[in-house]
């Protein structure tokens, strides 16, 4: 038991050191380590849905590493890894009359739907950590955690939220100009 606790603490310490190292690296290193694609699509939808473009980029990196053809074992598709059932609901809520699953491979549509969904979660939970947890684990799980006065109960979801928030900072620092919203 003592060995397991020591190992866990060592791993947590290494993870914290890695995050600190990532945050202290120069922008050119971050750009090599964390590429950015589709910035015009990201910035456009960030502006449209009043989101932080670096947060969208972070979600995309964590979900698909900017692979528009990405598919998960659970059936999530595209850059922001949307489930077809979620995307169909978004399409109907945003004025779409026909939903086609293959549209989720289109970066423009995928980021539009993912941004809409992320904005909706941010409005519902009024908390970035909870919104990201719901994006990852589903609203039903987050609602149950809140009703039970729990924090984020799934370790993998806590890791996901921490990763996305750390990546948001990396993307904001490394790509500040590219992800800047048009104020005019």
CATH code, domain carrying 100: 1.10.530.10
Q: What is the DSSP letter of 60?
A: H
Q: Are 14 and 58 in the same domain?
A: no
**180 domain-assigned:** no
Q: Which of 50, 63, 108, 177 is catalytic?
A: 63
CB 126: neighbour CB atoms within 10 A?
9
Shared domain for 70 and 137, answered yes or no, is yes
CA atoms within 13 A on the CB side of 91: 17
Structural domains counted in the chain: 2
> Distance between CA atoms of 64 and 105, rounded to whole angstroms?
12
Residues 139 and 56 reside in one and the same domain:
yes
Question: Is residue 98 located within the same domain as residue 128?
Answer: yes
| Same domain for 158 and 122 | yes
Q: Which of 21-30, 137-146, 169-178 has the lowest mean pLDDT?
A: 21-30
Average pLDDT on 14-29 reads 62
141 shares its domain with 94: yes
Q: For a pLDDT cut of 70, what percent of the chain falls above it?
A: 85
pLDDT of 105-137, one tens digit each? Answer: 999 999 999 999 999 999 999 999 999 999 999
Domain extent at residue 48 = 36-174
Residue 96 pLDDT class (50, 70, 90 cuts): confident
The pLDDT tens digits for 40-82 are 999 999 999 999 999 999 999 999 999 999 999 999 999 999 9
Judgement on whether residues 72 and 123 belong to the same structural domain of the protein: yes
pLDDT at 5: 46
Residue 107 three-state SS: helix
Q: Rounded to the nearest 5°, which phi and psi values hold at 116?
A: -55, -45
Separation of alpha carbons 54 and 36, rounded Å: 10
Q: Mean pLDDT, the chain, as a whole number? A: 89
Check if the beta carbon of residue 108 is closer than 8 Å to that of residue 45: no
Q: Is 108 a catalytic residue?
A: no
């Amino acid at each position: 038991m003592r060995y397991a606790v020591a190992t866990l603490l060592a791993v947590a310490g290494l993870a914290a050191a890695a995050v600190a190292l990532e945050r202290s690296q120069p922008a050119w290193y971050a750009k090599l380590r964390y590429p950015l694609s589709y910035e015009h699509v990201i910035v456009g939808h960030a502006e449209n849905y009043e989101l932080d473009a670096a947060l969208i980029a972070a979600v995309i990196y964590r979900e698909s590493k900017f692979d528009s053809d990405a598919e998960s074992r659970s059936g999530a598709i595209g850059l922001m890894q949307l489930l077809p059932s979620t995307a169909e609901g978004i399409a109907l809520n945003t004025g779409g009359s026909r939903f086609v699953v293959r549209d989720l491979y289109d970066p423009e549509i995928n980021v539009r739907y993912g941004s809409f969904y992320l904005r909706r979660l941010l409005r519902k939970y009024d908390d970035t950590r909870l919104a990201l947890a719901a994006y990852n684990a589903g609203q039903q799980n987050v609602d149950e955690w809140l009703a039970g006065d729990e924090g984020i109960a799934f370790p993998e979801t806590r890791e996901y939220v921490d990763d996305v928030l750390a990546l948001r900072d990396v993307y904001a620092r490394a790509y500040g100009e590219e992800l800047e919203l048009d104020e005019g």
